[in-house]
Structure 1
Amino acid sequence: MSSSLRPAPSECVGPVAVPACPPDVLAACAEELARRLARRVRLIHGEHERVLPPPDAGPADAALLVSEDGRRLYVESMTDSADSPTALAWARAFQHLLACAMAAPELPMSAHPLLSEQERRRILYELNPHRVPQVLHRTMAEPFQEQATRTPEAVALVAASGEHVSYRELNERANRLAHFLRSTGAGPGSRVAICAERGVPQVVAIYAAVKAGCAYVPLDADLPDARLGYMLADCAPTHVLTDPASRSRVPEGGWRVIDLEADAAQWQEQPASDPPVAVSANPGTAILNILYTSGSTGRPKGVAYPTDGALAHLDWMQSQYPYEPGDAAVFKTSPGFDVSIWELFWPLYHGARLIVCEPGAHRDARRLARLVEEHGVTTVFLAPTVMTPFLEQVDASAARLRWALCGGEPVTARVRDTFYRALPDAVLVNCYGPTEAGTVTDMALDPDPGVPVPLGRPAAHFRLSVLGEDLEPLPVGVAGEAYISGPIGLAQSYWRAPARTAERFVADPYGPPGTRMYRTGDLCRYRDDGVLEHLGRIDRQVKIRGLRVEPGEVESVLAADPAVVDCAVAVHGTQGTHGTPARLIAFVVPAEPGTFGEAEAAEVLRRAAALLAEHMRPERLVAVPRIPATVNGKVDTAALLAVWEGFADGEERAIVPPADELEARLVGIYSRVLQSGPVSVLDTFAGLGGHSLLAFTVIDACVAELRVKPEVLKLLTGSVREVAQSIREGHAEPAEPAAPNPG
């Protein structure tokens, strides 16, 4: 073969033996391969060269080089999307496609599989064998109750106040509340909502709900009123357990509201013994909780997660990354996120101490690092965006960390390398999985710099299949959508949303009759050793600071505003920790363009904040004359982001100056901490690129310079001017000035 015909090499595999084929069959097979893999390939056979499908502006992903006698195949990857594993997979697929075409030339090319039956079976069932877990308990409380019997006087909870709660005391407090809940109408099949600040009473409430046989529905008191109201109306709980700090956020409705502190006398005379186990008639259908996540319809969707799935998951995690007596963990995640199940139940099944992080402190990397050091925490979960500032603060000589679990968004090589430089004696574990399934894959990462970070292998009770659009398994090394299946571990449904459930939970053609698989929307591929790699999203769902956001939900809220005619939401920056942090930018077509300025944009965002959780709120709103579209009618995101780049450079933005010294000093603090350009007093903390992880740095600067501590919620949601007004009105907490430096 003439080497002059070969493209500049990248990665090359071969030779792979192929059957002798006429040139037209070679071309037809190459075109079919390109079609199914949604990639462009260059076919070189002797002196002939073709690009399939026909060339456009982009380069070919791979070159298929067939020897002149037609019996040997080489494959070269030509772009970053096709490395050696991909090229080898294409070579095998092309080889099989050619053999099928020659053996059955009367069939259309689309009828021939890319995989041999042996390879298909290996990928589906042998790379990562599935095992049905043995679930020994009926409720999430039973493993804890057994541990409380073994070590009744051991410390179970350590509160921010310094209060220590033993296993016996926690069990008895939860038992009394559980008996009370049952006596007042709660039980199997009912829901108990919990809207309380993080603390010992919140932990007691969650354990009491599961002891009573109910599904618990966690409600974050920081959510907007309208969102809380929707969630309560949707889940229809029998009771809402709350506390003095959150009571005013709970609306009246068809539920009984109970203050965990003010009303505690009502259940103090209830039995302290474990209530009889109460589960549904079919234990496999018992719901542990309903967790509300972002939904594309403009309304949050409730994920109904089963008890047996959570028990199987915690059993798997314990087998991989075990807690031991004397270990400690941190409860810092909102119970509205699935990671909280790890923090609330897993360590207390095995005799560890659970350190309850005070409200708001989980956003402060410095305080979190001190908590880990002072309490000898051995296992912690952190999203990548929290991991990076945490590593800057933690002292390796004082920390006892053994495992650091990381997930919620892609874990980059940069995060891994930084971790092992900061904590060389700990192990970083990459975890992946949606709320609809819990953590599906996990892998302890090797500290090898420069090596790509994989997702890992599926847990033994899950099967993860990488499938094409026809739901056929794809060759190893080829990217497709990840589908999660298994009789135990998937969510039961989206609560009261059968159509949405049917869309995402589909029949599993590769499992026992009646089983389902969940469409993740994640673009993944398998390596030949069975380890999974994550390559991005195939839909619009994004992660902001590790939390899932459907841009469509944000768009639905903005589009309903009377000042908006049309809108689109785009993500600027990356969704990991490499490069610019991801932020939501909203582009709107105003109803009255000539009068729509910074103040009007701020008012639209203020109204949207009443319906959207903090991480779902756009950081900027940009007025545009129209929403641009691509030739196929889709929103032209690239064009919108180009508009944003110009806007961010200050070309179309008026700067409203400070009106007094307080506003001027706040402007200086914002500008210095956020490292932004000119700051207007109408700018918000989030709009300038700030997020909750930086909020405490701004607060520290206010304490040092202004001797006041602004309200965290006002700082996160209000403009500079609104923060200044809050301080003037006395809503900020007075603070002592920092001690002078010695000498």
Structure 2
Amino acid sequence: MTGFVDELLANPPHTPAIITPDRTVSYGELRNRILRLAQCLVVEGLRPEQVCAIAVPRGVDAVVAMAAVLHAGGAFLTLDIDQPPQRLAAMLHSGHTRHLLTTSQVELPFPGRTTLLDRLTPAIAPLPAVSPRSLAYVSHTSGSTGTPNAVLIERRGLDSYLRFLAKDYDLGPHTTAVQLAPLGYDASIRDIFAPLLAGGRLVLAPRESLLRANEFAEVIRRYEVDTVLSVTPSFLTFLAQHREIAADLRRLRLVVASGESLRPFLAAGGRDLIAGSLVNQYGPTECTMTSTRHRVPVVPDLSADHIGVPVDGVTAHLLDDQGNPVPPNTIGEIHLGGLGVARGYADRPGLTADRFRPDPFGEPGSRMYRTGDLARRTEGGILEYLGRVDRQIKIRGYRVDPAEVESALLTHAAVTGAVITAATDDRGRVHLIAHLTGDLADITDADLRAHLGKTLPPHLMPRRFARIDRLPTTSTGKTDRKALAR
């Protein structure tokens, strides 16, 4: 079976592939650039199973580089060059990087072979045949110590996932998608390659403009964007606060959210802002970006955080502490199997053995990933997400889901953002703190408690309400809960 890059290269050459504020790149030009760079990388020694880091600014060069590394048989590690140099150096080391693909304008010390995109020497070389089990890319997820862990993803998982997206989301030549996720995060791989595989158009706009509501709306209008494949619920909630762009958001045919609970956004009435399809995706980095997805109905069920059913090639089992399947409507830990499961963590055999277990439900020798996430499966087979095993909050013996409290807070007319964190007082008692944004000058704590009391039991009542100007976010657009807790 050919890889997805071969299918991408076979798209009609004269049709537009990438649109930037400065120019439009056709599939023919994209193909020529990918082939040229792939041959140069082969001549310079890149081989299957070798990792080539990509450190280039966001844009066409980054797309060409990622595809060319794959086409040359190697595996890519994309870096967000705006990240601190020490973190980038740690990623280069933990990812076992053998090659660096960059430009002469980027300063990044690297002892291995370096190829400069702006100083390429033309070369002709045969491209190798590559196994579906060969390494495709390396993505990092932060460990408990703060040191990034390098996750190793194989080609078969990436190919299967991208083909699933194109089919299940009806992507095609009619699609115009915008890259929203930053480079260096695996969601950017979905953003870039799913629309290009399908023969659609990929819009590359400056990231700073995409993070401002009115400029984001201008991008939708200017380029007739109809698809967003990677957006966090936090960013959707931010956009929802700007009612002046509501008409532009309704132009979108497809919006795919992931990374956080979508439930608070839905509870705040956010589904009404999306006229097209809204999909809630769930999946860890260790399982090729996405493992399950749920199409949110026009009138969503606000009582639960539904993450749907597995994507093609993926299995999801809910197991108890002894590794046994739990009955329907019973809480269990999500264990993911199938094509998307990573090889493990580079140079972390102990952690790999702990998280990646033999899969008793799969083929001989297969493994499943123990996610640390809790869920229950309804009688209809839909998975309902219930939070992290290691982040459970217990108040007087009750298990608390922060998303349930956040959802209730967002139904208050004056609240525009809500995040729940836990704290412990000097007597060792755990309590909840609500961090709120909105026009709350005339809203007292008693008003908020009265509002919550209409739908929540006493043990879900926050002890303190902290009013803040804005909710801090990480570089990927998720709410920065650690910063709030500090």
| TM over 0.5, shorter chain | yes
- Report matched runs for 1:332-481 at 5 Å: 332-380=180-228, 381-391=230-240, 392=242, 394-396=245-247, 400-412=251-263, 414-415=265-266, 418-424=269-275, 426-437=276-287, 438-449=289-300, 451-452=302-303, 453-481=305-333
User: What SS is found at the alignment partner of 2:22?
Assistant: coil
Q: In 2 relative to 1, CA 439–466 (structure 1 residues): closer, same or farther, beyond 3 Å? A: same
Number of the residue aligned with 1:532: 383
Structure 2 CA distance for aligned equivalents of residues 575 and 305 of structure 1? 34
User: What SS is found at the alignment partner of 1:252?
Assistant: coil
Structure 2 CA distance for aligned equivalents of residues 397 and 300 of structure 1? 38
Give 5+ residue unaligned stretches, structure 2.
394-400, 410-416, 437-465, 478-482
User: What SS is found at the alignment partner of 1:428?
Assistant: strand
Pair 1:257 & 2:108 matched = no
Structure 2 CA distance for aligned equivalents of residues 523 and 169 of structure 1? 47
Q: In 2 relative to 1, CA 451–628 (structure 1 residues): closer, same or farther, beyond 3 Å? A: closer
- Report matched runs for 1:285-296 at 5 Å: 285-296=133-144
Number of the residue aligned with 1:506: 357
Structure 2 CA distance for aligned equivalents of residues 302 and 243 of structure 1? 24
Structure 2 CA distance for aligned equivalents of residues 178 and 416 of structure 1? 48
Structure 1 CA distance for aligned equivalents of residues 145 and 365 of structure 2? 28
Instruction: Give the deviation of 1:372 after TM superposition.
Output: 1.9
Structure 2 CA distance for aligned equivalents of residues 516 and 388 of structure 1? 37
Number of the residue aligned with 2:15: 154
Structure 1 CA distance for aligned equivalents of residues 405 and 15 of structure 2? 39
Instruction: Give the deviation of 1:162 after TM superposition.
Output: 2.3
Which deviates the most, 187-196 or 330-339?
A: 330-339
Number of the residue aligned with 2:123: 270
Q: Is the 8 A contact 2:258 2:282 kept in 1?
A: yes
Structure 1 CA distance for aligned equivalents of residues 129 and 392 of structure 2? 38
Q: In 2 relative to 1, CA 416–501 (structure 1 residues): closer, same or farther, beyond 3 Å? A: same
Structure 1 CA distance for aligned equivalents of residues 41 and 67 of structure 2? 12
User: What SS is found at the alignment partner of 1:346?
Assistant: helix
Structure 2 CA distance for aligned equivalents of residues 365 and 532 of structure 1? 32
Residue 375 of structure 2 aligns with an amino acid whose one-letter code is: C
- CA deviations on 1:619-640 (whole Å, 9 max, x unpaired) are xxxxxxxx9899xxxxx5837x
- CA deviations on 1:424-445 (whole Å, 9 max, x unpaired) are 3x01111111111121111211
Q: Is the 8 A contact 2:336 2:368 kept in 1?
A: yes
Q: Is the 8 A contact 2:166 2:197 kept in 1?
A: no
Residue 378 of structure 1 aligns with an amino acid whose one-letter code is: D
- State the identity as a percent: 31
Structure 2 CA distance for aligned equivalents of residues 416 and 490 of structure 1? 32
Structure 2 CA distance for aligned equivalents of residues 583 and 157 of structure 1? 40
- CA deviations on 1:9-31 (whole Å, 9 max, x unpaired) are xxxxxxxxxxxxxxxxxxxxxxx
Structure 2 CA distance for aligned equivalents of residues 275 and 260 of structure 1? 20
- RMSD over aligned Cα, in angstroms? 3.2
Instruction: Give the deviation of 1:186 after TM superposition.
Output: 0.8
**Larger RCO, structures 1/2 (Cα 8 Å, 6+ apart):** 2
Q: In 2 relative to 1, CA 351–497 (structure 1 residues): closer, same or farther, beyond 3 Å? A: same
- Report matched runs for 1:199-238 at 5 Å: 199-238=59-98
Q: In 2 relative to 1, CA 637–289 (structure 1 residues): closer, same or farther, beyond 3 Å? A: farther
Q: In 2 relative to 1, CA 690–514 (structure 1 residues): closer, same or farther, beyond 3 Å? A: closer
Structure 2 CA distance for aligned equivalents of residues 339 and 218 of structure 1? 11
Give the aligned length.
427
Q: In 2 relative to 1, CA 297–376 (structure 1 residues): closer, same or farther, beyond 3 Å? A: same
Q: Is the 8 A contact 1:373 1:398 kept in 2?
A: no
Instruction: Give the deviation of 1:414 after TM superposition.
Output: 3.8
Number of the residue aligned with 2:5: 141
Number of the residue aligned with 2:373: 522
Instruction: Give the deviation of 1:416 after TM superposition.
Output: 6.8
Residue 336 of structure 2 aligns with an amino acid whose one-letter code is: I
Structure 2 CA distance for aligned equivalents of residues 441 and 183 of structure 1? 40
Q: In 2 relative to 1, CA 397–386 (structure 1 residues): closer, same or farther, beyond 3 Å? A: closer
Q: Is the 8 A contact 2:221 2:248 kept in 1?
A: no
Structure 2 CA distance for aligned equivalents of residues 414 and 331 of structure 1? 22
- Report matched runs for 1:529-568 at 5 Å: 529-540=380-391
- CA deviations on 1:520-540 (whole Å, 9 max, x unpaired) are 111100001111100111014
- CA deviations on 1:717-737 (whole Å, 9 max, x unpaired) are 9xxxxxxxxxxxxxxxxxxxx
Q: Which has the higher strand share?
A: 2
- CA deviations on 1:189-247 (whole Å, 9 max, x unpaired) are 211101122111111111111111111011111222221111112223232122355x1
Q: In 2 relative to 1, CA 512–689 (structure 1 residues): closer, same or farther, beyond 3 Å? A: closer
Q: In 2 relative to 1, CA 416–289 (structure 1 residues): closer, same or farther, beyond 3 Å? A: farther
Number of the residue aligned with 1:182: 42
- Report matched runs for 1:229-248 at 5 Å: 229-243=89-103, 247-248=106-107
Q: Is the 8 A contact 1:192 1:216 kept in 2?
A: yes
Number of the residue aligned with 2:447: none
Structure 1 CA distance for aligned equivalents of residues 421 and 26 of structure 2? 44
